[in-house]
């Protein structure tokens, strides 16, 4: 059976928080052949949310990686749906999409691709909260990011959105962001290179200003 390597990295950030690092190796079935998926993850955590006893909801899509690129609104709608699915099964209220958060998330995904960096802090020194506030937000923001590179093109499909959600949920730091009770709003951005061999995805979380 033919094999190829596909690497993914994901990072989460909460504010304020302590910093931790770890690496995980998973196997996945992609294009009918087994791929080794390496996740190098950096996250910020503080409150213990998403600890023992958490659960992931039932899949919402077929994991079909041959599907072509889907419209961004459909990708965002599914991203919110599966985030709320996993909050619901863990006894948490749903998030609502904040168009401004989605705009900031999309800009960060596109910026990481264009300027070839992978971090919560952009080359201008702006972290997620600074980027959100600069765009008109009133409060801080948490963030999960994902980078995927490979030699075989990947489509921006609904299945890919759900795969990233599962990866974030299976990672303690990212799960903390997804299962933080005080977050009420959600934003999502995703972009692929022209060749489809490099993808960046961004989840952002915030709450209503009081």
* CATH number of the domain bearing residue 120: 3.40.33.10
Q: What is the pLDDT of residue 46?
A: 29
Q: What is the pLDDT of residue 109?
A: 98
Host domain of residue 41: 4-206
Is the separation of the CB atoms in 167 and 39 below 8 Å? yes
Whether the CA torsion 173, 74, 195, 33 is positive or negative: it is: positive
Q: What is the pLDDT of residue 191?
A: 98
How many domains does the structure of the chain reveal?
Answer: 1
**Helix (H) or strand (E) segment spanning residue 17:** none
pTM over 0.85: no
Residues of the chain with pLDDT under 70: 1-67, 210
Q: What is the pLDDT of residue 42?
A: 33
Q: What is the pLDDT of residue 136?
A: 96
Q: What is the pLDDT of residue 57?
A: 61
């Amino acid at each position: 059976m033919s094999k190829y390597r596909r690497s993914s990295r994901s990072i989460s950030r909460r504010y304020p928080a302590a910093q931790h690092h770890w690496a995980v190796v998973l196997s996945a079935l992609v294009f009918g052949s087994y791929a080794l998926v390496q996740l190098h993850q950096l996250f910020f955590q503080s409150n213990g949310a998403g600890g023992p006893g958490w659960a992931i909801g039932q899949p919402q899509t077929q994991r079909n990686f041959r599907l072509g690129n889907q419209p961004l609104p459909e990708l965002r709608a599914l991203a919110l749906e599966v985030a709320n699915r996993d909050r619901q099964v863990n006894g948490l209220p749903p998030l609502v999409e904040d168009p401004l958060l989605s705009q900031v998330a999309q800009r960060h995904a596109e910026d990481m691709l264009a300027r070839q960096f992978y971090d919560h802090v952009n080359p201008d020194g702006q972290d997620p909260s600074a980027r959100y506030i600069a765009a008109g937000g009133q409060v801080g923001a948490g963030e999960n990011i994902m980078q995927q590179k490979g030699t075989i093109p990947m489509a921006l499909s609904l299945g890919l959105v759900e795969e990233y959600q599962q990866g974030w949920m299976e990672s303690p730091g990212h799960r903390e962001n997804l299962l933080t009770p005080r977050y009420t709003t959600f934003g999502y951005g995703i972009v692929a290179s022209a060749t489809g061999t490099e993808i960046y995805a961004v989840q952002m979380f915030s709450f209503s200003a009081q």
